[in-house]
Structure 1
Amino acid sequence: MECRWRSVHNAETKCCRRADSSGYCIFHKENKSREENSLFIYLIMKEKISDFRGFIFEEDFIIRDVVNYNYLKLNFDEAIFKRKVFFNKYEFKKTLSLNYTDFRGYITFESSIFFENCELTKTKFNKKYIANKAFEKVHFNGQAFVITSAKNLPRLEGIIFSPCTKLVLRFVKYSKDNSLYGKINYRIARTQANIIGDSERIGYYYYNERNYASKMMKSSDYPRYSSYLNDKFFDLLSKYTIGYGERPWRLLRITLIIISLFAFLYMFCGVKNANGDFIGINLNKIEGYSIKEAINNYIDLWYFSTVTFTTLGYGDLTVSTVFGKFLVCLEAFSGVTIGSTWASLVIKRMIR
């Protein structure tokens, strides 16, 4: 009888080894006895296994004591480590794959050397050890270190990257309580992206770094509460208007909202054209306007709002009321501010 193990993520991947009464082979079997765990390690070394997909490690695993033979690739995809894992002081001469791997205990890569790539997709780490510097003193000489959607990813501090290594950190999220580690890891990713000139991802890393730094802001860290409110206000303003400078297209949406809002307000104060005709809605005669007339007036006022926002000032439409003049000044100031912000963001991205 063949082992019943099947890959959850690839239906064509299965185990062809013989199973015991549990329905699984010794590599994919849970709740192994002490003797079975010893046999488990012995068979790995005897068969020089490098494909550990779906293996269940129930005892402490020290890779340098077990994998001391040549291999083409180390594949630990979907493996489960129930106890401590020591990937430290080891030379990974080929690619290491840890996709969908579940580390339920302590893990360390300290002082290891990577000569090729390392992949971590939806890898799970124990939240208890999220603050550990699991990669301290690691020398990464490979081409790419790719981390995607990893859960509870420990701190990446201490990794020494080669000038050619690409660090890819995508969709890795942290709770508010662990924002510090998100800030640290995305800062490391941004620094490495700057070194290798990976301009495509620098903005993404910077946004996430600032986002987690924002979550760490506390009033207790400021001498005055007013200082905290001031910094928090401008931080949120920067986040939701321009995405900390990395999502400038948000300004386009805000621009359209501002122009449309002011056009609506001009409906009630009204403007005059070159012939002195009133364009707007007279609140005393509001019941006399049809929907078509209201729409036509709004279109004219949207045009006036756009001209005011961009500070073109054609002069074909003007306001005469005090409230109208106040709105024009406010919208013109908003337009100048947003226009200069947009220009600075475009120049920043062009320079990058």
Structure 2
Amino acid sequence: MGYINFKEEVSVAKTELINRINNNENILNKMKKDKSLAKGFSPDKDYSYKETEDVLIGKNTTEDEESFLIIRNTDFVCAKFIQCKFENVKFIECNFIGCIFEKCKFCNGGVVFDKCNFIKDDSNKTPSLNKEDNFSCYFKDCKLYAKFLNSKVSYAIFEQCLMKNTNLEQSNFSNAIIIYSELKMFIVKDCNLTGTKFVKTYISDLEFRDINKTKLDEKTFFDKIEVRKKTRDEYEGLYTVYETLADKFKENTLNNNFGEYYYLCKTMQRKTLKLIPRIGSYLYLVTCGYGERPWYALITSLVLIFIFAVIYLFSGIDLEGDAIQYTVNTISTISFKDFIMHMNETLNLSTGAFVGVGYNNAKPTEISYTVENIEMIVGAIMMGIGVGTVTRKLVR
């Protein structure tokens, strides 16, 4: 078993998603009924507390960022945008409180969120000391070509979204949930991803362009990426994504998480290798699970002990002065009782040779000495690999 239980993590994330959606709906209904709960904000009159459908916000052309429409210091409270287009627009120091974006497109030149806030974390309940509502925004079935710069996007939900050429820069993305989505050229720079969960999400390109460090913790979760095309290019892309994740977890001194994504990385990389390197990768896998599965060494050792025991039956053993050697012609004449007895003796001999403790009744014949020498060498190697792998895991 790996350090990360992916099935359990996915189940926990889905439960958290349901709870978060319910929490947002409850707070949304209360704030619509009592607009005084939006204290500290100045709700925009055009969109707040309304459903806006099929509207363009921005410029209907493709512009450089310098030519974007600028919307500054605006509070969008409990606004719902349906099938709207956000194009060539830059939001500066804006608040999006409990906003829902459904089937919206952030496209053409793109959208910039600079110093924006997407969460209301203070509580409306009394007393409110040490209580947080975590009233977040919900993006559903959206296409995002956007940049989040110095923004707070905590607890946000991205469901069934396509995030293409999207950048997160120096932003707080903690505890966000990205589920049933797709990330293409997703770039992260010096962000907070603690507690963030990427669930059932296809990631084809992921880069960390940190100057300082993007923060991850034990609750940060990236689900396994389901293979779609099964082509060499896809395997290479997914292998690179897993390698990037492994390196980032290691940078955050989360060595157990590093180990799991390193294992997935090597598993995916194996599918891109040519024959000889692929054989070497398989050996690395079965002997120790790429250094992350200590029980692989135990299972492989038991299999090798059994194989050598069978070889001893055919190469010959000396059992209390009687030479026993199976051949293709004589094997059918041996009773099942005698076979079990002989197999027991060769297993004892094989185990003793493999772990280097010697043998009891059965001894190898002259021909079997070569087999025994080979087994002793293999056993010494496997014991070293097994102890090294277990030690590596225990040290973590």
- TM-score, normalization by structure 1: 0.71
Separation in structure 2 between the aligned mates of residue 277 and residue 291 of structure 1, nearest angstrom? 18
Are positions 1:135 and 2:184 aligned together? no
**Quick one: percent identity of the two aligned structures?**
17
**Residue 344 (structure 1) aligns with:** 388
Counterparts of 1:43-62 in structure 2, within 5 Å, are 45=76, 47-48=78-79, 50-51=97-98, 55-58=102-105, 60=107, 62=111
Q: Deviations over 1:40-64 (max 9, x none)?
A: xxxx936456445672214647363
What code does the residue aligned with 2:76 have?
Answer: M
Greater shift after overlay, 250-259 or 67-76?
67-76
The alpha-carbon deviation at position 257 of structure 1 amounts to 1.3
Query: After the TM superposition, which residues 137-286 of structure 1 pair with which residues of structure 2 at under 5 Å, given as runs?
Result: 138-141=189-192, 143-159=194-210, 162=213, 165-166=216-217, 167-173=220-226, 175=230, 176-217=232-273, 230-273=276-319, 275-279=320-324, 281=326, 285-286=330-331
Deviation, 1:321, is 4.3
| 1:182 to partner: Cα distance | 2.8
Cα deviations by residue, 1:309-343 (Å, 9 ceiling, x for unpaired): 11222363212242x22322222222122112112
What CA deviation, in whole Å up to 9, does each residue of 1:86-127 have, x standing for no partner? 2433511533222x3321x734124351163333233234xx
CA distance in 1, matches of 2:119, 2:346: 75
More displaced 10-residue stretch of structure 1: 302-311 or 140-149: 140-149
The one-letter code matched in structure 2 to 1:150 is T
Structure ranking higher on relative contact order (CA contacts 8 Å, 6+ apart): 2
User: What is the number of equivalent residue pairs in this alignment?
Assistant: 308
- Runs of at least 5 residues in structure 1 that lack an aligned partner in the other structure: 1-8, 18-24, 39-43, 219-228
Greater strand fraction, Structure 1 or Structure 2: 2
After the TM superposition, which residues 62-73 of structure 1 pair with which residues of structure 2 at under 5 Å, given as runs? 62=111, 64=113, 71-72=120-121, 73=135
Q: Determine helix, strand or coil for the equivalent of 2:203.
A: coil
CA contact (8 A) 1:203 1:246 kept: yes
CA distance in structure 2 between the partners assigned to 1:307 and 1:346 by the alignment:
22
**DSSP-derived class of the 1:135 partner:** strand
1:121 aligned onto 2:170: no
Change over 3 Å in CA distance of 1:117–1:278 after alignment to 2: same
Shift of 1:206: 1.6
- What does residue 6 of structure 2 align with? none
Say if 1:319 and 1:325, in contact at 8 Å, map to a contact too: yes
What is the CA–CA distance in structure 2 between the aligned matches of 1:69 and 1:297, rounded to whole Å?
73
| Equivalent of residue 344 in structure 2, options 280, 296, 299 | 299
Residue 276 of structure 1 and its aligned partner are, at CA, apart by 0.6
Deviation at 1:244, TM superposition (A): 1.3
Question: Distance in 2 between the 1:248 and 1:188 partners?
Answer: 24
What TM-score do you get using the length of structure 2 for normalisation?
A: 0.64
Query: Which letter does structure 2 place at the counterpart of 1:193?
Result: F
Shift of 1:70: 5.8
Q: Tell whether 2:142 aligns with 1:81.
A: yes
Structure 2 equivalent of residue 20 of structure 1: none
Contact 1:157-1:184 at 8 Å conserved across structures:
no
* Residue 158 (structure 1) shift: 1.4
Give structure 2 stretches of 5+ with no counterpart.
1-16, 30-49, 60-74, 80-95, 122-134
Query: 1:339, 1:248 → 2: CA distance?
Result: 11
Go from structure 1 to structure 2 and tell me whether the alpha carbon gap of 1:116 and 1:202 turns closer, same or farther (over 3 Å shift).
closer
CA distance in 2, matches of 1:164, 1:80: 27
Larger mean CA deviation between 313-322 and 331-340 belongs to 313-322
